[in-house]
Amino acid sequence: MSDEESKAFEFVIGSLSIEERAEFESQVLSDKAKEDDLNFWEYHLSALNTQSDTLQPRAQTWDAIKAETSPPASSTPTTRSSAKWLSWLPWGVSIAMSFALVIALSVGQFKLDDTLAVPVDYVAVLTDDSGQAMLTAITEGDSKNMWLQWDEIDLKSDQDLQIWALSKSDHQIRSIAIINNQNTQTLQLSDAHWRLITDAESLILSVEESGGSALDEPSDVILAKGVCVRLNRQEKTT
């Protein structure tokens, strides 16, 4: 084991000097081998701790955390009921387009362009109120990638697009991503956002001020909406 390899071990146990810690922290961001070593030692050395060994925190500690993590006073709740949107879009059009795409996918893998064949787990075709497809979103679970195919959308320079998921389980609407460039073709989803997709009844595309919705809810400018359809593995691979 080289000095460099043992750095991950010493970083985790905490015996490095301040300078060495800072150096390792910067290196690990761009070095997959170091990151793997770090994860290895964090995992195995955690056995030295005993979870039954506890010390009750002071009451004011939670109060301070709560204050730090609370939304700004001017903000409204982070989710809103879906009832307002349920009657908005021509559901028949959206459902029909999504299932048409599912049929297309079952014949062969979807191609976003000439070179990229995309495996899929979930697909949603987001249409406007006239039934025009504005965005096709395809999500794959292994990589947690979401591929986006856009129709032309006119945006002002101080506006962004935002994709939202409407939950099947609690009918709340939550943000998936803020898009400031329609050239964006892929998004890397976090585990949390992937779970939103798996629970999504539909996806919504809204126009927001630059930086996304300040209220964590869609603006009144809803561009498109479409049901989120899950494909089974057979459909994915045939």
The upper half-sphere exposure of residue 182, i.e. CA atoms within 13 Å in the direction of its Cβ, equals: 16
Distance CA 52, CA 49 (A): 9
Figure out which of the listed residues 30, 32, 53, 107 binds other proteins, where binding follows CB under 8 A.
53
Cβ contact 219:155 at 8 Å: no
Kindly write out the interface string for residues 192-211 of this chain, putting x where it contacts other proteins by CB under 8 A and - elsewhere: xx-xx---------------
Which segments of 71-199 are extended strands (E)? 110-111, 117-118, 122-127, 133-140, 145-150, 159-167, 173-179, 186-188
Cα dihedral across residues 187, 188, 192, 195: positive or negative: positive
Kindly write out the interface string for residues 57-96 of this chain, putting x where it contacts other proteins by CB under 8 A and - elsewhere: xx-xxx-xxx-xxxx------x------------------
190 binds other proteins (CB under 8 A): yes
Q: Which residues contact 21 (CB under 8 A, 6 or more apart)?
A: 11
- The least CB distance from residue 186 to other proteins, in Å, is 17
- Quick one: 174 or 225, whose CB is closer to other proteins? 174
Furthest-apart CA pair in the chain: how many Å? 65
Figure out which of the listed residues 29, 30, 32, 49 binds other proteins, where binding follows CB under 8 A.
49
Stretch that binds other proteins, among 98-106, 108-116, 153-161, 184-192 (CB under 8 A): 184-192
Residues contributing to the site for other proteins (CB under 8 A): 1, 3, 5-6, 9-10, 12-18, 21, 39-40, 42-58, 60-62, 64-66, 68-71, 78, 174, 190-193, 195-196, 216
